[in-house]
């Protein structure tokens, strides 16, 4: 199912927060939402909250790679998963979505694993992107 899309930053999902400390609640909650390997009890985080120029966005980790100028193969399903996760956060009252998406743009719930806070200790939480943490030095800063 390689339905790769041509991604642009304008496709990011802008969200609003009720309180400034909701950022930390959303960030922690997103560590417990993603794609699960039930056999290994690993959860791969799908989305992150990004704060840029006074605005907040729920972004798929592949969007963060694209924003960094790294190769990214964002698919329609990645977008649908991001939309589903944003909808869940909105339904739970953690965020407001600036431009809500149509239901047809949502991935089915069975494609996403949501760990309860009490169960998170039993799982290995994996992130494929770390905001603000450099894993290795950039080879060349001139481009």
Compute the residue count for the chain.
143
Task: Identify the DSSP state of 107.
Answer: P
**Closest to 49 measured CA to CA, from 13, 20, 18:** 13
- Confidence at 141, pLDDT banded by 50, 70, 90: very low
Q: Is the pLDDT of residue 78 over 80?
A: yes
Q: What is the pLDDT of residues 21-32, one digit of tens each?
A: 899 999 999 999
Q: What is the pLDDT of residues 2-46, one digit of tens each?
A: 588 888 889 999 999 998 889 999 999 999 999 999 899 999 999
Domains of the chain: 11-126 (3.30.70.650)
* Whole-number Cα distances in Å, 20 to 23, 49, 51: 6, 13, 11
Has this prediction a pTM greater than 0.75?
yes
């Amino acid at each position: 199912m390689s339905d790769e899309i041509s991604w642009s930053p304008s496709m990011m999902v802008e969200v609003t927060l009720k309180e400034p400390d909701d950022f930390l609640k959303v960030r922690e909650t997103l560590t417990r939402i993603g794609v699960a390997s039930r056999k290994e009890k690993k959860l791969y985080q799908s989305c992150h909250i990004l704060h840029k120029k006074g605005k907040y966005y729920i972004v798929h980790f592949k969007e963060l790679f694209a924003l960094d100028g790294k190769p990214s193969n964002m698919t329609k399903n990645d977008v649908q998963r991001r939309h589903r996760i944003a909808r869940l956060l909105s339904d739970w009252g953690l965020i407001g979505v600036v431009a809500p998406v149509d239901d047809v743009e949502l991935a089915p719930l069975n494609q996403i694993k949501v760990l309860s806070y009490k169960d998170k200790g039993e799982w290995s939480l994996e992130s494929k992107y770390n905001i603000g943490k450099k894993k290795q030095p950039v080879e060349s800063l001139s481009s």
